[in-house]
Chain A
Amino acid sequence: MAGLVRAGGRPRVRRTRAPLPRWLPRRLVGLELLATLARRRALVIKLAFPLGLALPLVATSAPPFFAAMLLTVLVTLIGAVGTGVTVVRARGGGWLARLAVLPMAPARIGVELLLASFAVDAVQGSIVVGLVLAWRQPAPLIGLTCWLLVLAVLAIANALGLALAAVTDHPGETMLGLAVLLAPLLFLAGLFTGIPAAGPRAWIALALPFSYLDEAFQLVLGGNPPAGDPTSFALAAATTAVVAVGVAALLGRAVLGRER
């Protein structure tokens, strides 16, 4: 609470109010969302900065291969960066230890932590994909599956952030881990070189959701990717979302530091 002194008058106490004061959250995801809503400036920056990168890519005649690669990297970073760092900070401040002794299954806590980060990231990612779709107006099915893939990649990137939070103790270490983990994954997904027609790298790329999102963005932007159709995009999105939730559930115990 900041006390300000009015010139020649009584001290005026400026009271800060928490967001949605009448709402009493009963779930972790609700409490975490309140925290996000309260950081208004950070929220505006978070929602606006992807547009600063996405807008030039769709508004100019950037080659679809190049633009799709950058948009995929952008979506992946949106998902991965915040979660890991937030969770590591929460552990350092003792918040996770408090959660760990609650009668909640660790899997549930893991999933709720994922959902809380994902909810904001989904708004962020949807603004980007909404802009791209509105500008390029692809076939509705392509547009819909592209949006679903964005959500799925955000979910799996959040899960990767959680995984790194489980094995790191410092935000800087988490960021470094993300760079070390994501760079080869994005490379193997064929973002920088394209997907080979056959061989082990082609199979690896097929197993990574980033490759599908890259192709979906290429299609939306008028490119001609070597493979990819709305059915495979939808399947990839569904599988990725399930894997992300599963990973978060499995990591719950490790993230909390709960040993039993």
Chain B
Amino acid sequence: MNPGPAPPAPGPVPLEAMGLCRRFRNGRGAGPVDLAVTAGEVVALLGPNGSGKSTLLRCLATLTRPTAGKVRWWGEARPARVRARLGVAFELSAHVEEASGIQNLAFFAARQGRRRDHPRAELEAILAGQDLLAVADDPVATYSFGMRRRLLLAETLCPDPDLLLLDEPTVGLDVTAAQRLTLALRASAARGTAVVLASNDTAFVERTCDRVGFLDQGRLVRDAAVATLLRELGPLRELRLRCSGEPPMDRLRRLPGVATCARTRDGVVLTARRRDGLVADVVRALGDADRVLQDLQIRDPDLADCFLELVGRPLEA
């Protein structure tokens, strides 16, 4: 888990949404949402498909006008005055496909940041940071999906924006690239950059973000620090076990602290609200029923469990 947000910088809050609402004719969309992100804070929006994460992000990224409510960037309500300080990456990593990676990067670096002139060596260093130097002069059309995503992140991060807005930033990234992104975002946050990202990659969110907002049907149902949310789950633990013969379901269900106990195709999934002595009790219950434990996997709860606990629906729709 990350070390926590950097101390807030003096001055106006980088991002503040007040009663922000964007609803479509079919009733879907996002809001009303109240959200404030301070400098150096990394905030994730979690929610199942269609919960309004991307819609909310598009409003915060100055692309879409809210149907109600307000957004302020450093206290400023006029998007044209703040765009130079934003770094935005939507889900689609659109590029000029015929131009090379470095040519696309040169354009975004020049247009996005405060500085127009980026020497080739500097751009190459940025691409090297995303492991794209070897293909810097190749047309983007020849890139794989993951390479395009890494180029998109390079373009978004290179002007060193004051506020980063990222939609599903880990889609298409391998484990190494996702870990590199965590380091890059934490480094940006340490420099005072505020980050808002929409993602359902709970492992990435847990190690990268300070705070999480749970979105359900467009509404922010919970907004708290990652550590707080995980702590609130209590000593929840999930065991997946396989044993010889038919599992003794009744005995397992009667164990102290067991919340759920369900039969799967090849075993049992058991969740319990205690940790101490749980495994020993399970082994004993199996032994009492003349069963032998063949396989046991223990999983600690994550943000997906928090979401399920709080909303009553799984995170992945």
Contact = CB atoms under 8 A, between A and B. Distances in A.
A166 B63 CA distance: 16
B86 interface: yes
Contacts of B65: 259-260
Interface in B104-140: 104, 106-108, 110-112, 116, 118, 120, 123, 137-139
Contacts of A100: 63
B90 A25 contact: no
B79 interface: yes
Interface string B80-109: 100110101011111111111011101110
B217 interface: no
A16 interface: yes
Interface residues of B, number: 40
Q: Which of B80, B88, B93, B139 has the most CB of A within 10 A?
A: B139
A38 B139 contact: yes
B138 A15 contact: yes
A32 interface: yes
Q: Which of B88, B91, B107, B138 has the most CB of A within 10 A?
A: B107
Q: Which of B62, B86, B103 has the most CB of A within 10 A?
A: B103
A97 B94 contact: yes
A12 interface: no
Contact of B99 (A27, A35, A101, A103): A35
B102 A103 contact: no
Interface string B294-317: 000000000000000000000000
B260 interface: no
A105 interface: yes
Interface string A10-33: 000001111101011111101110
Given A26-B111, A101-B62, A260-B79, A32 B106 contact: no
B103 A102 contact: no
A95 B140 CA distance: 13
A180 interface: no
Nearest to A1: B142
A18 B111 contact: no
Interface in A163-187: none
Given A35-B96, A35-B97, A18 B107 contact: no
Contact of B107 (A28, A38, A101): A28
Contacts of B94: 90, 93-95, 97-98
B98 A103 contact: no
A34 interface: yes
Contacts of A31: 96, 99, 103-104, 107
A70 B110 CA distance: 43
B262 to A, nearest CB: 41
Contacts of B116: 26
Contacts of A41: none
B107 A97 contact: no
A26 B107 contact: yes
Given A19-B98, A31-B107, A103-B83, A97 B90 contact: yes
A83 to B, nearest CB: 16
Nearest to A256: B63
B90 A98 contact: yes
Contacts, number: 111
Given A26-B116, A34-B96, A260-B62, A101 B86 contact: yes
A39 interface: yes
Nearest to A95: B94
Q: Which of B79, B106, B111 has the most CB of A within 10 A?
A: B111
Contacts of B84: 103
B86 A16 contact: no
B99 A1 contact: no
A16 B101 CA distance: 12
Nearest to A106: B80
A39 B64 CA distance: 33
B107 A25 contact: yes
B62 to A, nearest CB: 6
Interface string B209-239: 0000000000000000000000000000000
B89 to A, nearest CB: 9
A25 B63 contact: no
Contacts of B64: 259-260
A136 interface: no
B252 interface: no
Given A18-B103, A18-B137, A35-B99, A24 B123 contact: yes
Contacts of A37: 98
Given A21-B137, A26-B110, 19 more contacts: A18-B138, A18-B139, A19-B98, A19-B99, A24-B106, A25-B99, A25-B103, A25-B106, A27-B107, A35-B96, A38-B98, A39-B98, A97-B63, A102-B108, A103-B80, A257-B63, A258-B63, A259-B63, A259-B65
Interface of A: 1, 15-19, 21, 23-28, 30-32, 34-35, 37-39, 90, 93-95, 97-98, 100-105, 257-260
27 contacts: A1-B138, A21-B100, A24-B106, A24-B120, A25-B99, A25-B106, A26-B110, A28-B107, A31-B103, A31-B104, A32-B96, A34-B99, A35-B98, A35-B99, A39-B98, A90-B94, A94-B90, A94-B91, A97-B90, A98-B90, A101-B86, A102-B108, A103-B86, A103-B112, A258-B62, A259-B63, A260-B62
